[in-house]
Structure 1
Amino acid sequence: MRAIFSLFVMILALASTPRAGAHEFWLSPEQYQVAPGAPIRADIRVGQNFKGAAYSYVPVNVARFDIVTGGVITPVTARMGDRPALSMAMPGAGLIVIVHETTDTMLTYAEWQKFADFVTHKALPDALDRHAARGLPRTGFRESYRRFAKSLIAVGDGAGQDHAVGLETEIVALANPYTDALPAGLPIQALYQGAPRQGAQIEVFEKAPDGAVHTIFLTTAADGRANVPVKPGHEYLLDAVVLRDTGNDDPKAGPVWRSLWASLTFKMPE
């Protein structure tokens, strides 16, 4: 009975995971380079500044969870409560892309400043004018949000290439951090509904081997591309957010905003 109660509490906690401010969601592999046949283990994390709690696998919160390699999609097999959420072995060598999409979650803004801080931090300042133009209240309105996370792992030689995997919004690595020379940084492209996102803010969290985290902000060009400066032995989390109207201007009828969060993690070899 105690175990059932604990699992119920965990599900409730996950279903109501806070996204106040700018809490990122990402996939956190235990190792970014593994031998063929070795287990690939990765946590689901929510937090800030590349630091956050690891969450267990709860099917009701997952819309998609796959491993993509060489164009082949393998659904992740996991059981309720698994932590890490991913623990699978891949027999062949190559670059694998872990793909995770959450189900929708709702957030109610009780304070205007939290919404203002969020859209300012994510470089979405026109949202404040759009909010006012729609005649929306400054408190008591809701936002629905969904997360789209990817992570790049090298199995064996790590040869291969990331590509668009059909997420509503995603960040695609246009070079392989494990095999390619990157003197100008890692080229990436931000996509929304399959099209390049011009002027999108990419927040880059860089974690050094000693755990120190440094953050920079990039803006994508007309083709949705940007170059991410990288250093050997450093781990990276890239984050980009889309915010759109829901078409509903009645706060009592449902959410008035919808945000879509894309993340990508990888680690440069030593």
Structure 2
Amino acid sequence: MPFVTNQKQLQLFFKTMKQAVKSNVFRYLSLALGLLLVAITAVFSHEFWLLPEQFFLSVDQNVKVSVEVGEDFTGERWGGGTRRVTALKLHTQTTIKDLTSTVQQDDSGVIAPVLKLEETGTQLLTLATNNSFIELEPEKFLAYLTEDGLGNAIAYRQKHNETTKKGRELYRRCAKTVLQVGASYNDLPTKNTGMTLEIIPAKNPYQLVKNQPLTCQFLYEQKPLKNYLVRCWRRINGKTEVEFKKTNVQGNATFELVNKGEGNYMVSTVQMVRLANDPKADWQSTWGSLTFGRQ
């Protein structure tokens, strides 16, 4: 599957349509569609990830980690209001440090603590959030479900005559980032950390050899996510590429984008289930991400 960016796809779409239809009516229509898609992108800035200042560090080095939210692997500081971190843990070969109480969070935002990495080897930082609520108009909710490949929710709404009903959703996040401290490697990134949505690489990303793809398993509540849309992102020099895949019956997907080498990478997906007897929301979504770098 080719690697694409949303902007390039959009430009190609309009170029093709303009060649096929040349009229003043289409000019107004294309403008309206463009504005609509921009508005949808602004509403659904929902990718969520951990971004350290550096992925490759020395022992006893301090590192800042930013909690990011945005689109196309381009983010801004996350948090504020009722959005809160419920768990922040640093996993090393010898211990798991619970850092949740060190997170600064208030109505203005969330700031993760500066980490001092005292052990050598590959390490893993994990973060989970509480639920937030969102309500979307039917058209915007359908656009969101379509964009993220959530066909199960689309089919349910069609079957139960809910296509004209607003989308009432609770959403939460699970994020990981892989840090390499010194030149000693281990299999820590391949371990299940027990989060609600797990993205588990089959191999330490920092031990991939040239032209070796990366396989990841996707689990929701410790069960494989089958036939789900998943993504791998690469960002370098201000540009983003993304690779789309569908998981198999074991919840696995293999990404070739990592073969491009240097850059920041993110593997991500979202899972959505119908809620029963919840007075506030009809749907629960859980967003997952795994970030790492390549030199």
| Structure-2-length-normalised TM-score | 0.77
Distance, in Å, in 2 between the alignment partners of 1:148 and 1:243 is 14
Distance 1:165 1:58 in 2: 28
Shift of the 233–62 alpha-carbon distance from structure 1 to 2, 3 Å rule, reads same
Q: Secondary structure at the match of 1:86?
A: coil
Aligned-residue offset at 1:183? 2.9
CA distance in 2, matches of 1:256, 1:126: 13
Deviations, residues 121-141 of structure 1 (Å, cap 9, x unaligned): 111123122013334362444
Asked if structure 2 preserves the Cα contact closer than 8 Å seen for 1:66 and 1:74, the reply is: yes
> What is the CA deviation profile of residues 185-211 of structure 1, one whole-angstrom value per residue up to 9, with x for unaligned ones?
112111111122221211221112x12
**Is the aligned partner of 1:91 residue 2:114?**
no
- In the TM superposition, what is the alpha-carbon distance from 1:40 to its structure 2 partner? 2.4
> What SS class does the counterpart of residue 184 from structure 1 fall into?
coil
Residue in structure 1 matched with residue 53 of structure 2 by the alignment: 30
Q: Verify the 8 A CA contact 1:21 1:117 in the aligned structure 2.
A: no
Gaps of 5+ in 2: 1-40
Q: 8 Å contact 1:97–1:153 — kept in the other structure?
A: yes
Measured in 2, the distance between the counterparts of 1:160 and 1:26 equals 23
- The aligned runs of 1:180-195 (5 Å cut-off) are 180-181=208-209, 183-195=211-223
Structure 1 residues 137 and 232 mapped into 2: Cα distance closer, same or farther (>3 Å)?
closer
The residue aligned with 2:104 is 79
**Distance (Å, rounded) in 2 between the aligned partners of 1:124 and 1:233:** 31
Deviation at residue 57 of structure 1 after TM alignment: 8.7
Indicate if the aligned counterparts of 1:94 and 1:156 stay in contact, CA closer than 8 A: yes
Q: Quick one: distance in 1 between partners of 2:133 and 2:104?
A: 25
Partner-residue secondary structure (3-state), 1:198: coil
Residue type of the partner of 1:156? G
Task: Check the 8 A contact 1:198/1:222 in 2, yes or no.
Answer: yes
> Within 5 A, what are the aligned runs for 1:227-238?
227-229=254-256, 230=258, 231-238=260-267
User: Given the superposition, is the C-alpha separation of residues 176 and 216 from structure 1 closer, same or farther in structure 2, using an over 3 Å criterion?
Assistant: same
2:244 counterpart (217, 226, 229): 217
Where do 4+ consecutive residues of structure 1 move more than 6 Å?
A: 56-60
- 146-155 or 73-82, which moves further after superposition? 73-82
Aligned twin of 2:172: 146
43-52 or 76-85, which moves further after superposition?
Answer: 76-85
Alpha-carbon distance in 2 for matches of 1:171, 1:101: 13
Q: Judge conservation of contact 2:272–2:284 (CA < 8 Å) in 1.
A: yes
Task: Judging by fraction of residues, say which structure has more helix.
Answer: 2
Look up the equivalent residue of 1:79 and give its one-letter code.
Q
Q: Aligned to 1:178, what secondary structure does the other structure show?
A: helix
Q: Which of 131-140 and 197-206 deviates more?
A: 131-140
RMSD value, Cα: 2.4
Could you tell me which amino acid in structure 2 is paired with residue 128 of structure 1?
I
Q: Which residue pairs with 1:5 in the alignment?
A: none
What corresponds to 1:167 in structure 2?
195
3-state SS of paired residue (2:64): strand
- Residue 206 of structure 2 corresponds to 178
2:288 is the alignment partner of 1:259: no
Matched, 1:101 2:117: no
Separation in 1, partners of 2:58, 2:82: 29
Q: 1:154 and 1:268 mapped to 2: Cα distance?
A: 10
Q: What is the DSSP-based 3-state SS (H/G/I as helix, E as strand, rest coil) of the residue aligned with 1:117?
A: helix
- Runs of 5+ in structure 1 lacking a partner? 1-17
Secondary structure of 1:166's aligned partner: coil
In 1: Cα distance, 2:184 partner to 2:80 partner: 26
Matching residue of 1:8: none
- CA distance in 2 between counterparts of 1:102 and 1:29 reads 18
How has the CA–CA distance of structure 1 residues 226 and 153 changed in structure 2, closer, same or farther, with 3 Å as cutoff?
Answer: same
2:92–2:124 CA contact under 8 A, matched in 1:
yes
2:85 pairs, out of 59, 62, 72, with: 62
- More displaced 10-residue stretch of structure 1: 134-143 or 235-244: 134-143
* Separation in structure 2 between the aligned mates of residue 170 and residue 185 of structure 1, nearest angstrom: 19
Higher mean alpha-carbon deviation, 40-49 vs 197-206, is at: 197-206
Q: Which amino acid aligns with 1:66?
A: K
Letter in 2 for 1:63: T
**What TM-score comes out, normalization by structure 1 length?**
0.84
